[in-house]
Amino acid sequence: MSIAASNTSMRVPAGFRNLLEGLAREVLREQPADVVAFAAQYFQKLLEGREGEGIDPVAWGAMLED
Distance CA 66, CA 34 (A): 34
Q: Residue 26 domain-assigned?
A: yes
Whether the model pTM is above 0.75: no
pLDDT band at 6 (very low <50, low <70, confident <90, very high): low
Decide if 23 is inside a domain.
yes
pLDDT of residue 33: 97
- Whether 61 contacts 15, CB under 8 Å: yes
60: Cβ contacts below 8 Å, ≥ 6 apart? 15, 18
Q: What is the pLDDT of residue 1?
A: 54
Domain membership of residue 58 as a residue range:
16-64
List pLDDT tens digits, range 14-57: 888 888 999 999 999 999 999 999 999 999 998 888 888 777 77
In a domain, residue 7? The reply is no
